[in-house]
């Protein structure tokens, strides 16, 4: 079943999915949340730094959200969130760790694993999720992805946002996979 963005935004279970999915990636990744000296970096360094390049699909636009995250997607509708964790590249989670966190945090959803991928600089988990209903059934399915990209000493945590279509999740995955940091001009 393909869930259209407008349908997903009107489905209470999928709205909860978005809130929980961001919590899994950004709050539930214990290896990513260990306190390090870089946690005390000034707030202006918490967003994406200049020199960071996130290749976007044609027609997508990007903005920095009020919480400092980078968000991108089709006009008027972000589908990708990226958070920079400066100096935390060594703490990049594996796809198995991402999957464990998703399973633990999303017990109220039925999950099916679509793809796991691990390289030295990239970890990916793609799933299809559906809210579990009180009558024992499941609600509408929605695609999602969680990823981590290591570039040098930095860690970039990526996630699809609620309402993203399967194609947007695929495109967001590729954008996360290809994040680069360009050397500062001299």
Tokens 């393909």 belong to: 2
**C-alpha to C-alpha distances, 104 to 25, 47, 107, 129, nearest whole angstrom:** 12, 28, 6, 14
Paired tokens of 117 = 């991928």
Tokens 């589908």 belong to: 79
- pLDDT tens string 74-123: 998 999 999 999 999 999 999 999 999 999 999 999 999 999 999 999 99
**Chain centroid to CA 53:** 16
Q: Quick one: which of 103, 86, 79 has its CA closest to 29?
A: 103
Ordered structural domains, the chain, with CATH? 5-181 (3.40.1000)
Report whether 140 contacts 163 (CB < 8 A): no
- pLDDT tens string 40-72: 333 333 345 567 899 999 999 999 999 999 999
């Amino acid at each position: 079943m393909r869930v259209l963005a407008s349908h997903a935004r009107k489905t209470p279970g999928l709205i909860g999915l978005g809130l929980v999915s961001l919590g899994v990636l950004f709050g539930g990744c214990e290896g990513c949340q260990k306190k390090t000296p870089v946690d005390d970096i000034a707030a202006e360094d918490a967003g994406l730094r200049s020199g960071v390049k996130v290749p976007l699909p044609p027609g997508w636009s990007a903005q920095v959200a009020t919480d400092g995250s980078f968000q991108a997607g089709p006009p008027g509708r972000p589908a990708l969130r990226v958070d920079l964790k400066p100096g935390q590249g060594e703490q990049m989670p594996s796809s198995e760790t991402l999957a464990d966190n998703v399973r633990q945090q999303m017990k109220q959803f039925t999950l099916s694993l679509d793809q796991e991928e691990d390289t030295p600089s990239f970890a990916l988990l793609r799933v299809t999720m559906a809210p579990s209903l009180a009558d024992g059934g499941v609600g509408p399915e929605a695609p999602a992805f969680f990823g981590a990209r290591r570039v040098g000493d930095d860690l970039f945590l990526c996630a699809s946002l609620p309402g993203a279509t399967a194609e947007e999740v695929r495109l967001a995955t590729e954008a996360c996979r290809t994040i680069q940091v360009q050397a500062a001009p001299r």
